[in-house]
Amino acid sequence: MPANGSADPIELSVIVPTLDEAEVLPGLLADLHGQQGVRLEVLVADGGSTDATAAVAAAAGARVIAAPRGRGAQMNAAARLAQGSMLLFLHADSRLPDPHLLAGALRALQGASRTDANVAGHFPLCFDRRDDRNRLGYRYLEEKSTLNREQTINGDQGLLLVAPFFARLGGFDEGLPFLEDQRIAARIRSCGRWLTLPGRLHTSARRFETEGFHRRYLLMGLIMVMHSLGREEFFARAPQVYRVQRQTGRLLLSPYFRLLRSLARHHWGLRTTGTTLLRLGVYLRANLWQLFFFGDVLLRPLLGPGRSPLLGLHDRLRARLPARDRVVWLPVDALLGLGGALFVLGVLAPWFRLVDGRADGDQP
């Protein structure tokens, strides 16, 4: 039934994947119930919670869908049963303090869809935190969430799109229990375009606060690098690289750095290691814009809102350089890849080995 209880057709199906989220889910469900100007249904795609998640969802009027564990599989299962012409995928710890947020998002996407059927929207983020630590880091993540560049769009920003476009995309990739958001974001970019929706979606900073802001961000970066380089054996040998929220605690990074050294020495061999370093260089070069953008965020009190001259400088410089000249970029990528590897294994790895301790039982 639509949230407002009318018999009108449902405009929006909100799909929330859950696994033991009874603590945070009531806040999101209350926010969804308070949304105005939109007819919606809420589907909670549960992956086998052992707490009261399903009961909480049902009591709030949401439809509970039992699905195989894995965020992609859970969301696909709910999407197949959704009645709305548009789909919105949200994390359980999302909050919508603005009661008109979804109505405004629908209007924006409907307007964009009139000229482009293959368009998807995401919200800028605002992190709900318990204290003011790491203010610059959170501000950087929040400002980066307004962009539509590669690897800036994550599942916690929400995914809004028309149901036929989602069907053409083939749904979420279910190959891994994580990174389904990055994979569908890349597919959307390859065959359509992204739209930054109006307003801000609030999300919990609980994982950053529990695991440590810089540790969580470094691990996220490592995950994205390994995924982008196609080094799936990293994930096969480190199954705990993704942990559900109830398993989180202070994050130890030294086991993952040890795993990288082990892969390079005993698994990849000289040729694969060299290829990996070159690909790492290409990846780092493609993401140099983030350093420029961080400078803009750092200077925000002087620059004012919305201005990013350093990012603009990066883009102008990049536009003047040959994009596909292998003779030019091969040595650059080799140096970047080697420098990046030396920094990770020669600086970060020893540091976290020191601060994490050398307990035998801290394997990932």
pLDDT digits (tens, 9 = 90+) for 274-318: 999 999 999 999 999 999 999 999 999 999 998 999 999 999 999
Residue 64 DSSP SS3 = strand
pLDDT band at 107 (very low <50, low <70, confident <90, very high): very high
Give residue 201's pLDDT.
Answer: 98
Q: How is residue 192 annotated by DSSP?
A: S
Give dist(CA 295, CA 85) in Å, integer: 41
Give residue 12's pLDDT.
Answer: 97
List, for residues 233-280, the tens digit of each pLDDT value. 998 888 777 665 555 577 899 999 999 999 998 889 889 999 999 999
pLDDT band at 341 (very low <50, low <70, confident <90, very high): very high
Give dist(CA 31, CA 33) in Å, integer: 5
Residue 336 DSSP SS3 = helix
* Mean per-residue pLDDT, 61-85: 96
Give residue 242's pLDDT.
Answer: 66
- In the numeric block, which tokens belong to residue 147? 């962009």
Give residue 239's pLDDT.
Answer: 74
List, for residues 162-219, the tens digit of each pLDDT value. 999 999 999 999 987 778 999 999 999 999 999 999 999 999 999 999 999 999 999 9
Which residues does 238 contact at the CB level (< 8 Å), separation at least 6?
255, 256, 259, 364
**Residue length of the chain:** 364
Give dist(CA 42, CA 14) in Å, integer: 5
Which run of H or of E encompasses 41? Answer: strand 40-46
Q: Is the model more confident about 114 or about 102?
A: 102
Give the chain's mean pLDDT: 91
Give residue 362's pLDDT.
Answer: 46
Poorest-pLDDT segment among 50-64, 222-236, 279-293? 222-236
DSSP state string for 136-164: HHHHHHHHHTT--STT---GGG-EEEEHH
pLDDT band at 360 (very low <50, low <70, confident <90, very high): very low
**Would you call 91 exposed, middle or buried from its count of C-beta atoms within 10 A (0-12, 13-18, 19+)?**
buried
Whether 119 has a pLDDT exceeding 90, the answer reads yes
Q: Are 220 and 208 in contact (CB under 8 A)?
A: no
Give dist(CA 150, CA 169) in Å, integer: 18
Whether 335 has a pLDDT exceeding 90, the answer reads yes
- In the numeric block, which tokens belong to residue 317? 């410089």
Percentage of the chain beyond pLDDT 70 is: 94
Whether 3 has a pLDDT exceeding 50, the answer reads no
Q: Are 124 and 146 in contact (CB under 8 A)?
A: yes
E-only strand ranges, 212-289: none
The Cα-based distances of 335 to 230, 231, 265, 331, 338 in angstroms read: 20, 20, 20, 6, 5
Q: How is residue 46 annotated by DSSP?
A: E
The Cα-based distances of 157 to 76, 182, 195 in angstroms read: 18, 12, 12
Give residue 248's pLDDT.
Answer: 54
Whether 1 has a pLDDT exceeding 60, the answer reads no
Give dist(CA 45, CA 66) in Å, integer: 6
Give residue 243's pLDDT.
Answer: 62
* Mean per-residue pLDDT, 152-165: 96
Whether 325 has a pLDDT exceeding 90, the answer reads no
